[in-house]
Structure 1
């Protein structure tokens, strides 16, 4: 409920206002069609992690959807810092998530993309809620499902009903994530990337239009190189996932998280494995080195 939200600032179309007071037109194409893109940037101690990489992906999503980039990177960073400071002063939270959403703008309802619109720009922050100590020590449960979403998963679009349905499958089962497959091949989770560990090798699906190229895609590869762990991107069959030594999830909020139960069957030994431990430790080191 809105009454439960902290009375902190957000940014909407050039102005800072209270979250509870911010309003957009009912004719905004983001509201009518889900015609927009978004980014979620993690910040630790008030400093954004991998800012440039998130901005690169935002630029890619905007280019794919033909929405002009409305702000410079310097301005995005300035807005984010002001909002993070506001939330920190209100709640004491220094580890935060910065949510950026850009829609095509306001226009008469028509499926055709209108030209010349002014994009709607919205930014807010929230306290980061990382996985619990128990989830890290014991691992988490996931379920599998067919990937029934559209075939442009590489765009970080606000049209997320397919992902909402997918995540609800695991929520209804009391699990943390839904791991999805297209025609028997691993794609991704409802809100995370999925990594398969077998014989000490970390494997993930290739970077294509069927998966969101998570910011942690390149980060996991870098952490593998740093820790001497073999890394590869390739098509991964469902049978390989079910027979994995370890399964890992990665996202802005999960960082790297071990999956120890899949469809009620243990993954590997049923405990977080050595590759997870190695990559999680390296991830914590990266956080201290790559902050904006």
Structure 2
């Protein structure tokens, strides 16, 4: 049985409770982060902590604890649950001061709700899916406009993954005004003639922590990078493609809407970036 963290307490998962009036439950009024664990250490914790604070600030939501306290909670959950490879899910909601209401509760009298739990995933770094590569479909992007805030409003991304599953594929890329925004839970890239192309940061996409690290490592490896809008048709004509996320790192894409990329196997740049990212992340883990 896992030990989880809820509002200052470490509890068996069967004893963890929050109010039915919590705004995270009623309004999806909450934000989250997912931090990977490799070799019992946290990957990119600082980046996740900074992005969490940004999400809270954008929603005028209070912090539940300091960054130092958050680090200690993460480490304690890794220790208690004996996580060698896996994930730590963190969620902060606005909490509740009583009955359901569209109006935000008074921040002076209402404490945010904070929840963390671990997921053990042996073999996370050596995921066989990365050797096979992902097949994706494209779907319309009908999410709200502030995708840069990592909120718990995940119904449509979840539906997108189910659409992909129904089509015999692994994931979906989202299309808005003719251009790819991102994947359902990852940032999207394609490679053409050795150049990595990805959409620039804005309110339209999540400011991926893994994205930032991978682009930095690609630049250090003297790979050519272009941040611009791109269409799904451009991606279909690419030599290779990939996605990045905290839970899948660098995931090669081998097919888009039934069109095989290159020879239909993971491309060399995606594979090299995954190797570099995992190596450097392990060195910097805390």
How many angstroms does 1:238 deviate by? 2.3
Does the Cα contact within 8 Å between 1:227 and 1:278 map onto a contact in 2?
Answer: no
How many angstroms does 1:133 deviate by? 5.2
In structure 2, C-alpha distance between the alignment counterparts of 1:168 and 1:148, rounded to whole Å: 15
In structure 2, C-alpha distance between the alignment counterparts of 1:43 and 1:51, rounded to whole Å: 10
* 1:109 aligned residue: 100
* 2:150 aligned residue: 156
* 1:36 aligned residue: 30
1:115 is paired with a residue of what secondary structure?
coil
1:77 to 65, 71, 81: 71
Q: How many residue pairs align between the two structures?
A: 282
* 1:220 aligned residue: 214
Paired residues for 1:1-292 under 5 Å: 7-88=1-82, 93-107=83-97, 108-116=99-107, 117-128=110-121, 130=124, 134-292=128-286
What do you get for the CA RMSD once the two structures are aligned?
Answer: 1.4
Give TM-score, length-normalised by structure 1: 0.93
Does the Cα contact within 8 Å between 1:227 and 1:279 map onto a contact in 2?
Answer: no
| Greater mean alpha carbon deviation, residues 34-43 or residues 130-139 | 130-139
CA deviation profile, 1:153-200 (whole Å, cap 9, x unmatched): 111101111211111111222211111110110100111111111111
Does the Cα contact within 8 Å between 2:33 and 2:91 map onto a contact in 1?
Answer: yes
2:81 is paired with a residue of what secondary structure?
helix
How many angstroms does 1:131 deviate by? 7.3
1:207 is paired with a residue of what secondary structure?
coil
Question: Runs of 5+ in structure 1 lacking a partner?
Answer: 1-6
